[in-house]
Amino acid sequence: MSSWEPRWVRRRVSAHGITVTTCYDLTTSLLVCPLCSDVSIDELCPEGQEGVIPVARASLFLTAEDLVNHMRTHWHSKRYKRVKIPTAREGDEGGEEGILRRFSNFKPASK
């Protein structure tokens, strides 16, 4: 049985006109998302030295393009708000028509 012993170094990667400073593992060639990791990149890969901390919860990527595309989802998830869709309850007018009727009367809170 083998175990992964990471050797993190700080690296600047670019894709789609965006440059990101992140940690790169010399063992596996994986890049870590600096936004998702449960450990900050300052702890994971200190400037000018190798880090050996294993990461329990982080998004890892093979290419800079994949990392940048993933980081865009962080921006998009904050940009859009979730809308709660009403569901039928006991005593309410049931079925799809009742739900649609209540939803059509739904007015979002003003800003």
Give the pLDDT means over successive 10-residue stretches in the chain (111 positions).
83 94 96 90 92 88 96 72 56 56 57 52
* Maximum CA extent, the chain: 66
Per-residue model confidence (pLDDT) at position 36: 87
Per-residue model confidence (pLDDT) at position 30: 96
- Is 20 in contact with 67 (CB distance < 8 Å)? yes
Please tell me the pTM assigned to this model: 0.65
Per-residue model confidence (pLDDT) at position 32: 95
Convert 22-54 to b/e letters by CB count within 10 Å (16 or more is b): bbbbeeeebbbbbeebebebeebbeeeeebeee
What are the E-state strand segments in the chain? Answer: 8-15, 18-25, 31-32, 60-61
